[in-house]
């Protein structure tokens, strides 16, 4: 079971882009707390705290005890966030209230364990196709990650969602036929011989003779250029 982390939030009275800029300049991230058929509340969170949380392995699936100054205390999870594309700075966070007795649907990271035989003994390459799967479970039962052993895999073999271990605490919703990881052959070396042969043939070929004038054709005298 996860340990519920406490995080403080402040209410925001102002809305709009200018207000959001001022909030960020003060070292805080604007956000919204919503869900469970209650009114949404505009909030702000400490930038360093929430950024560190979201960057952790299970950050976005962590159950938080969100305490709004002068307002409610709610169990909540990060539902969505926006990041500035160039600098990677956190711009906005949506926090969703959760009922600890009701299931939630979240995305969970898939991690490989071991080195496949196809890579180790035959020079293949491991290619991750799907890095997360959708999982349904109670908030405190969300796994940090789901591991799968790829050591037996040979070149051309794959692991599908349906191959993931069954766990009584959560249910995987992603299509069972979806490929998670497969082992592919090493890329074939580029063959240069045909190109070299073509170059030799081109050098050996005689130069083309200038085209001859057609029979009966005579240049016109006194013609103007």
pTM equals 0.74
Whether 49 shows a pLDDT value over 80: the answer reads yes
Q: For residue 220, name the pLDDT band (cuts at 50, 70, 90).
A: very low
Q: What is the mean pLDDT of residues 70-86?
A: 94
Q: What domains does the chain contain, in order, with CATH numbers?
A: 5-99 (2.40.240.10), 105-184 (2.170.120.20)
Pairing type for strands 158-160 and 179-184 reads antiparallel
Gap between the Cα atoms of 154 and 120, Å rounded:
9
Read off the pLDDT of residues 99-131 as tens digits, 9 standing for 90 and up: 999 999 999 999 999 999 999 999 999 999 999
Q: Who contacts 150 (Cβ-Cβ below 8 Å, separation ≥6)?
A: 112, 113, 114, 115, 116, 126, 159, 181, 183
Are 26 and 41 a contacting pair, CB within 8 Å?
A: no
In 3D space, the residue among 168, 162, 151, 171 whose CA is nearest the CA of residue 108 turns out to be 171
Read off the pLDDT of residues 143-169 as tens digits, 9 standing for 90 and up: 999 999 999 999 999 999 999 999 999
């Amino acid at each position: 079971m996860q340990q519920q982390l406490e995080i403080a939030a402040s209410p925001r009275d102002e809305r709009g882009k200018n207000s959001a800029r001022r909030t960020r300049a003060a070292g805080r991230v604007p956000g919204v707390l919503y869900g469970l058929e209650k009114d949404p509340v505009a909030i702000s969170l400490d930038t360093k705290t929430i950024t560190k949380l979201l960057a952790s392995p299970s950050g976005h699936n962590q159950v938080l005890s969100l305490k709004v100054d002068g307002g409610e205390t709610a169990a909540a999870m990060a539902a969505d966030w926006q990041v500035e594309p160039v600098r990677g700075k956190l711009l906005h966070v949506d926090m969703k209230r959760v009922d600890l007795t009701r299931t939630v649907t979240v995305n969970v990271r898939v991690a490989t364990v071991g080195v496949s035989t196809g890579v180790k003994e035959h020079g293949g390459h491991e290619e991750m196709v799907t890095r997360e799967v959708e999982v349904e479970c109670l908030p405190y039962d969300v796994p940090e990650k789901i591991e799968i052993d790829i050591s037996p895999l040979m070149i051309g073999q794959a692991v599908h969602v349906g191959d993931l271990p069954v766990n009584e605490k959560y249910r995987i919703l992603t299509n069972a036929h979806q490929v998670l990881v497969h082992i592919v052959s090493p890329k074939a070396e580029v063959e240069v011989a045909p190109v070299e042969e073509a170059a030799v043939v081109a050098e050996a070929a005689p130069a083309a003779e200038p085209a001859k004038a057609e029979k009966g054709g005579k240049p016109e005298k006194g013609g103007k250029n």
